[in-house]
A and B are shown apart, each in its own frame.
Chain A
């Protein structure tokens, strides 16, 4: 496969070997599931360059969400090490923020206070908090909703609030776990466009997990295909299509097909003959 990249190709654009934003070395995870244990992740290596947008696709239950919470430091690997910006990850940190599918907004706070939450933890003054929060709310089209209760918001708006809340504390890495999985197609397209614009402007390192192959190809610099449980990387593609990309792009559809094929053969390989 022409698109398949080797490890040496996975250096940052420009080809300079700097310290990766994220470096996973032989990371594996087992869960206790009496009477035995379940292998969620097979030993896995991954390097993500600073400013890179990496998408992980894989069948459900392949450990992609587990991988994100390990990187976020909300769970610890059974084996292996994870480094973020060279420092070993041993717990959650504000340099890596995880965004989940259900947004997990705080219902006792209005939209702006949700966005300010992380800033408040840093002890920032109310005035500065409001300034930063308003900037990011404007960035993700939330202007005018500052004082709304979060429960009345649609799924797409909730995702925007979660994104603004994460961006407000200026993390180096955004970890996105199926952030658009519950959205209708129109809303998802808009959020794709906004996320690409934000990424282009801020150059955050993003690791996004999805089961939607086309979404992965549309957003990522690189797409990694994981096998069924225990997850490991079975294929890797560099997507060098020009941005901004849209889902209808013929070249994009073509790439998606190639990735899908890898996803299917990876799945068969694990399941074996029926």
Chain B
């Protein structure tokens, strides 16, 4: 079964690459606008060797790590508060839900006015996008604490802060993890959008630079790097955490 999956996977991607190459060679678009996989690979190797892609990726990763860290700290705290204090949920909660609708890159012009052409503007945009996702995820997790758990915990002598640290927060773990994951996706997307507009080294601005150089192969190579990093974080950070949670809790595969 496992072998079959690997075979299907290999055949599928070989097919995609073949189709891509065929379209690039025989398609209606000029080769410099629609390069084949080999040119893109060459551009990728070139970019990685020259160190530019690596530096760009590191800058982007640094930004998202910083911004995401800030939004995790604020979002978890805020989510816990909103989840337990009804009045806050009715007031501040509605504001957070409203802001969630706003694509976070829409904050960029304002952020540039506030912070100037500065790293802080990008960090702000990324953090604020993830913040509402994480806040709402944590809030939902806290509000959905099965009442049975709280009843049992109180009955066994749990009270005050211990109820939070030993029952409410652990019970919210699956929802918190889902919120973090969604928050990360939003953060990654808004970082790329912000970097497209904000001209300082980063993966987004490398895309823009490729366009300025009329170098489609390079643009595609940067896109591959962005996809690879996104998949890597999903596989290395979120997937293992989800697997652990599923094993311990016996949750159905999501």
Residue B151, interface by CB 8 Å: yes
A106 within 8 A of B: yes
- Contact status A104-B148, CB under 8 Å: yes
Q: Is A92 an interface residue (CB 8 A)?
A: yes
Main secondary structure of the interface of B (DSSP, over half): helix
Of the listed residues B153, B171, B173, B247, the one surrounded by the most CB atoms of chain A closer than 10 A to its CB is: B153
Contact residue range for chain A?
20 to 34
**B residues less than 8 Å from A96 (CB atoms):** 155
A151 at the interface (CB under 8 A from B): yes
Min CB distance, A5 to chain B, in Å?
Answer: 30
User: Does A259 interact with chain B (Cβ within 8 Å)?
Assistant: no
Cα(A177)–Cα(B155), bound, Å: 14
Of B158, B171, B248, the contact of A149 (CB 8 Å cutoff):
B248
* Contact A169-B157, Cβ < 8 Å, known A108-B249, A149-B247, A149-B248: yes
A-B contact count (CB 8 A): 63
Closest Cβ of chain A to B178, distance in Å, is: 16
Question: Could you list which residues of chain B lie within 8 angstroms of chain A, going by C-beta atoms?
Answer: 146, 148-149, 151-159, 162, 166-167, 170-171, 173, 247-250
Supply 24 A–B pairs (Cβ within 8 Å), ascending by A. Answer: A72-B155, A74-B154, A94-B156, A97-B155, A97-B156, A98-B151, A98-B152, A98-B155, A102-B148, A104-B151, A106-B152, A106-B167, A108-B171, A108-B248, A108-B249, A109-B170, A117-B153, A120-B166, A121-B158, A121-B162, A149-B247, A149-B248, A165-B156, A169-B157
Is B157 touching A151 in the complex (CB atoms < 8 A)?
no
Are B155 and A92 in contact, with the CB atoms below 8 A?
Answer: yes
In the complex, residue of chain B having the shortest beta-carbon distance to the beta carbon of A108: B170
| Given A72-B155, A117-B156, A121-B162: A108 in contact with B173 (beta carbons within 8 A) | yes
State how many angstroms separate the Cβ of B112 from the closest Cβ of chain A: 44
Residues B155 and A107 in contact, CB atoms below 8 Å apart: no
Q: Is A65 an interface residue (CB 8 A)?
A: no
Known: A118-B157, A121-B157, A121-B158. A104 touches B250 (CB 8 A): no
Rounded to whole Å, the gap between the CB of B154 and the closest CB of chain A is 5
> A70-99 CB contact bits vs B (8 Å, 1 = yes)?
001010000000000000000010101110
Given A108-B173, A117-B166, A149-B250; 5 other pairs, CB 8 A cutoff = A98-B151, A104-B148, A109-B170, A165-B156, A166-B156
In the complex, A122 has a CB within 8 A of chain B: yes
Report B-chain residues with C-beta under 8 Å of the C-beta of A117. Answer: 153, 156, 158, 166
The yes or no answer to A100 lying at the interface (CB within 8 A) is yes
Contact A122 B157 (CB under 8 A): yes
Cα separation A152 to B247 with both chains bound (whole Å): 9
Residues in A with CB closer than 8 Å to B156 are: 94, 97, 117-118, 121, 165-166, 169
Report chain A residues within 8 Å CB of B153. 117
Complex: A74 Cα to B152 Cα, angstroms: 9
Q: How far is B159's CA from A169's CA once the two chains are assembled, in angstroms?
A: 15
What residues of chain A lie closer than 8 Å to B151, measured between beta carbons? 74, 92, 98, 104
Contact of A107 with B248 in the complex, beta carbons under 8 Å:
yes
A97 and B166 alpha carbons, distance in the complex (Å):
19
> What 1/0 flags go to A111-122 for Cβ under 8 Å of B?
000000110111
The answer on a CB contact under 8 Å between B148 and A100 is yes
Contact of B250 among A92, A109, A152 (CB under 8 A): A152
Give min CB distance, A138 to chain B, whole Å. Answer: 20
Find the residue from B155, B158, B173, B249 having the highest chain A CB count within 10 A: B155
What distance in Å separates the Cβ of A91 from its nearest Cβ neighbour in chain B?
A: 8
Q: Among the interface residues A72, A104, A122, A151, which one has the most CB atoms of the partner chain B within 10 A?
A: A104
